[in-house]
Structure 1
Amino acid sequence: MTFQGNIRDLQRAIVVDSTGDKVGSVGQVYVTNEGQDPSWVTVNTGLFGTNETFIPLADAQFTDGEIRVPYEKKFIKDAPNIAEDGEISQEQEAELYRYYGVQDPSRDGYLDAGDRTGGTVDDSTGTGVGAAGAGVGAAGAGVDRDRDLDRRDDDGVTLHEEKLNVGTERREAGKARLRKYVVTDTEQVEVPVQREELVVERTPATGEDRGGRLGEDETEVTLHEERPVVSKETVATENVNLGKRTVTDTETVTEQVGHEEVDVQSGRDDRV
């Protein structure tokens, strides 16, 4: 990364990944003692732990307080976890170079073990001043990191919680139909009936009827009887209607809601 500016600008910068998502705030800036060019930054990608993730600056871009790196956040989080203690060993740096696929920009291979030493910062210029050799030193080791962190407004976290909103919705619970049907019953009714029977009545003659003649004669009597006659008629017995009424019940709703809490673990760096 070609950087023309104060190392403190990098120390206060935010690292964003290739998609524009925030990775984290810069913790330390590492520079090469040979050219005093920024080569690595460390970023704490989580809330807990004292180890920081190393990110190379070879293909990074710095604009308006943001360092954009060509890696995704998940890829950066999976980088080898190396303790930030002012210098990194040859094996550690080689492991980081292999992971990110980046070579040491100062030579065609990885740095030798004897080429490393810690560096300090000249507060008047912010430029890393390293010991002899082409080592990699931590820039800004003499800065009070607690005060610097206090000035970062974007290092805080926002806590959230879930709230349970309970309401009611109207839905169809079922249908009711009113229909009528015919039921046949058998009724027995005692009906009084009358009939006429033939009765022969005989009375003696008085002898006053004289002059009669002998001969045949006949008379006819009509007999009658009653028979049950059945007829049916339909009459209304009652009116039946369907109505609705509202009944209020109380139901208990049980649901789990989550909320966020914060747990801060501080790994203070008192090195000068």
Structure 2
Amino acid sequence: MITREQIPTVLDHPVYDSAGKKIGDARHVFFDEVSGQPEWVSVKTGLFGTSESFVPIHDATVVEDHLEVPYLKNKVKEAPNVDVDAGGHLSEQEERRLYEFYGVDWEAAWRQTQPDAKKAAGRPTDEAMTRSEEQMRVGTERRETGRARLRKYVVTEEQQRTVPVRHEEVRVEREPVTEANREEAMSGPEISEAEHEVTLHAERPVVETKAEPVERVRLTTDERVEEETVKGKVRKERIEADTDENDRRS
């Protein structure tokens, strides 16, 4: 349990759960009006600290500049919402709900302290009244709106190319016997049979394919900023003075 002297170290400082995770910041400390000991601490949770959860403080400890409570963060955030009256008191019914939620023996606590009401002691009070206002804070959250993917597949298309091809044909050449070629013409037998064979060649088109890299494709995202108007309701306290001065004048 923390002492009254440690309250300035607790208020507006972080509150951590039993696993070392930050729950939020301490907002108020509530005292038992019989024993005068701190009994509850309210913790600002949620986005921008818009929610407030109550946590028992009797088993809490102050470590350096923060408060550690023996409960998990999710447990604290799921604590029932309770109403604090204008004087900063917790009613018996509200306190019973909190005791039951945290598994604290209500009957034992009642016998020890007889808590008729708990008074908030966020800071030393004086004769002035504090007026508070709710402030609307607007933030953004990132959420998934869709997915895009690259998919590669193969298609086959017909292509046409023209390529020259060559082939050999037989052509018979005849030349008369002259003095220049007579010796070659007379080198064989006078009358005989003979054959001479020539091999013919022809070219034909040959198709060959080879994969070549031609392009690199990737997915990127571009961020666009648009203006959106959001509305919310905030509560403000007003302070008016009621006097009987007018009655005395009449």
TM interval, short-chain normalised: 0.5 to 0.7
Which deviates further from its counterpart, 11-20 or 31-40?
11-20
Between structure 1 and structure 2, the one with the greater Rg is 1
TM-superposed CA distance for 1:88, in Å, is 2.1
After TM superposition, the structure 1 = structure 2 runs for residues 4-43 of structure 1, keeping only pairs within 5 Å, are: 5-43=5-43
Q: Please, which runs of 5 or more residues in structure 1 have no aligned partner?
A: 117-135, 148-157, 162-184, 195-220, 234-241
Q: Kindly indicate whether the alpha-carbon contact (under 8 Å) linking 1:26 and 1:44 is maintained by their aligned counterparts in 2.
A: yes
Q: Which one scores higher on RCO, CA 8 angstroms, separation ≥ 6? A: 1
TM-superposed CA distance for 1:44, in Å, is 1.1
Q: 1:237 aligns to what? A: none
Structure 1 length normalisation: TM-score? 0.50
Q: 1:189 aligns to what? A: 170
Q: Kindly indicate whether the alpha-carbon contact (under 8 Å) linking 2:24 and 2:49 is maintained by their aligned counterparts in 1.
A: no
After TM superposition, the structure 1 = structure 2 runs for residues 53-72 of structure 1, keeping only pairs within 5 Å, are: 53-72=53-72
Distance 1:56 1:62 in 2: 14
Are 1:107 and 2:110 counterparts?
yes
Which deviates further from its counterpart, 73-82 or 37-46?
73-82
| Residue identity matched to 1:45 | T
Q: Please, which runs of 5 or more residues in structure 2 have no aligned partner?
A: 133-138, 143-165, 176-188, 202-209, 240-250
Structure 2 length normalisation: TM-score? 0.53
**Quick one: structure 1 residues 222 and 63, their matched pair in 2 at CA, closer, same or farther if it must change by over 3 Å?**
closer
Are 1:90 and 2:92 counterparts?
yes
Distance 1:76 1:258 in 2: 38
After TM superposition, the structure 1 = structure 2 runs for residues 108-147 of structure 1, keeping only pairs within 5 Å, are: 108=111, 115-116=116-117, 136-140=118-122, 142=125
TM-superposed CA distance for 1:42, in Å, is 0.5
Q: Could you give the per-residue CA deviations for residues 232-271 of structure 1, whole angstroms, max 9, x where no partner exists?
A: 89xxxxxxxx9x8x96x68684426699xxx998766789
Distance 2:4 2:15 in 1: 18
Please, which of 206, 224, 234 is the counterpart of residue 192 of structure 2?
224
**More helix per residue:** 2
Q: How many residues align?
A: 180
Distance 1:254 1:50 in 2: 36
After TM superposition, the structure 1 = structure 2 runs for residues 107-256 of structure 1, keeping only pairs within 5 Å, are: 107-108=110-111, 115-116=116-117, 136-140=118-122, 142=125, 187-191=168-172, 223-231=191-199, 253-255=219-221
